[in-house]
Amino acid sequence: MTPDDDRQPRILICDELNPAALEVFRRRSLEPEVRTGLTEDELVATVPGVDALIVRSATKITRRVLEAATELRVVGRAGIGVDNIDTDAATERGVVVMNTPRGNATTTAELAIALLFSLARHIPRADRLVRAGGWKAKGLMGSEVSGKTLGVIGLGRIGRIVGERARGVGMKVLAYDPYLETEGPGGTISGVELVKLDELLERSDFISLHVPLTDSTRNLISWERLAKVKRGARLINAARGGVVDEEAVLDALTEGRLAGAAFDVFDQEPPPADHPLLQRDDVIVTPHLGASSREAQLRVAVDIAEQIANFIQNGVAENAINAPSMPAEILAEYSPFLRLAEKMGSFLAQRIGGPIRKIELSVAGDVSKVGVEHLRLALLVGMLRHSLDAGVNFVNAPALARERGILVLESTDDKAVHRIGELRVRASERAGGKSHRIEGTVFGREPRVFRIDDVSLDLSPRGPLLLTRHKDQPGVLGELGSILGRHGINIQRVELGPPVGSAGLAAGFLTLYELPGPDVIDAVREMEAMEEVQLIRL
């Protein structure tokens, strides 16, 4: 994947980067162009002939931009999140998307620790008091953190650093991670005790969140969960806005169950000026500073410059979000199967909703000739992204899977119902736990799922998917449609499965145009015939 010898590769930097990135490129005899603040129209006019784009969070790399970028081979994100890049469109065109997952972890973790100390000693309140001419410490009695218990929710890269730092100042550390086994003392970090979430809430003096925002983590800290919190505990959210129900926190502070809270992130950013949490002295707020340190910005700038240079000059894709290292023409041809594998992994992670211990992947038909490795990586990436607080990509996915004790079994089969190829995956909990199966292929260039567990169907793995298990009786689908209709949720496609198992429950798979809120799901659960409801986002 080296450029033609007679053409200097064009690299376009679209957002502000630390100047060290330019030094990296110049050392490699590359001269990037810097054009920041471009609108989508301006970017579309600029990208023809560009080989590499580098962005932070401001610039949006849309499908329209990608279609205009005739020579584009790679998009680099100086940071972790890639929400501003249309990765599906990039993969379809054989464009690699890479990020820098290591750069921000320490900085974000240290901010959480700083907020913990600030809560314990009322530092912002004390500062305001002195600036206003006061000096008495009345009402500012703090507490030592040494000997106290910190509950870390989410043991990804950032959560682990927080746990290590807390142990360094003499704190006892509990941790909850739904994708790790809970086996008491020891766990995956020496000196950290893995516990269930309710136990963590009941025992912790400080609680720090380090989970991604997904359907399963939205409002993870809710009214019900806060009712179980140890009285006088303090809450820290430096993860994502939305994982904490802010109204519930306000109530917990008002009634004294929480002694304080610190927010670096909000569901709406910036929060409105009249947000009630901003009016309280027992709440600390910062403007999404998690990645804002000189060291972090230097690291991500240097990292992305090195990665782009290595890709342009050597064809090596480091920290690739959407593709393993493979020639662009092969990537473009087989990208629908990579997308299918990633969607299947995402489905299984959400369907099981807990620690997955074994994955059985079978690749059949013509696609098996390309090799199983790339498809296995895509499957793991889709599966792990639902459980970690930092970037998962084609480079680190195998190590993260091993770290979490996931056994991957692979097989190939020359014969397939769909000659182009098909993927069959079963994911299982530990022995005796539940397992689920999904099978899919590609029609044209569109991934399709043709079996989930024992139900044959024809499903496009895209958008919100509502799964139901219900009594096999007349009127269920009509009532379900009425509930969705009342809430303005339009159904795109319905697939129904016949009654199976000893309970004789029928299955429903409803692809929706809009993402239903918790109130909609609650209304569906209240149906007399309904036994199970799950929302899966694909």
Residues with a known catalytic role = 240, 269, 288
Instruction: Indicate left, alpha or beta for 453 from its phi (over 0: left) and psi (-120 to 50: alpha).
Output: left
**C-alpha dihedral over 447, 450, 455, 461, to 10 degrees?**
10
Residue ranges of E strands in 121-194: 149-153, 172-176, 192-194
Residues in the chain: 538
* CA separation for the pair 175, 159 (Å, rounded): 9
> From the CB of residue 292, how many other CB atoms can be counted at a distance below 10 Å?
15
Crossing angle of helices 373-384 and 328-352, rounded to 10°: 40
Backbone Cα Rg of the chain: 25
Q: Name the one residue in this structure whose structure tokens are 């199976």.
A: 500
* CA separation for the pair 151, 210 (Å, rounded): 11
> From the CB of residue 8, how many other CB atoms can be counted at a distance below 10 Å?
12
What are the φ and ψ backbone dihedral angles of 456, each rounded to 5 degrees? -85, 135
The type of residue at 102 is R
Instruction: Indicate left, alpha or beta for 504 from its phi (over 0: left) and psi (-120 to 50: alpha).
Output: left
- Return the DSSP state at 61: B
What b/e readout covers 325-340, taking b as 16+ CB neighbours within 10 angstroms? bbebeebbebbbbbbb
Contact 152, 163 (CB under 8 A): yes
Q: How is residue 212 written in tokens?
A: 């991604």
The type of residue at 343 is K
Contact 32, 25 (CB under 8 A): yes
Closest alpha carbon to 60 in 35, 80, 34, 37 = 37
Q: How is residue 24 written in tokens?
A: 């990296």
Closest alpha carbon to 175 in 157, 158, 210, 200 = 200
* CA separation for the pair 180, 517 (Å, rounded): 28
* CA separation for the pair 263, 283 (Å, rounded): 8
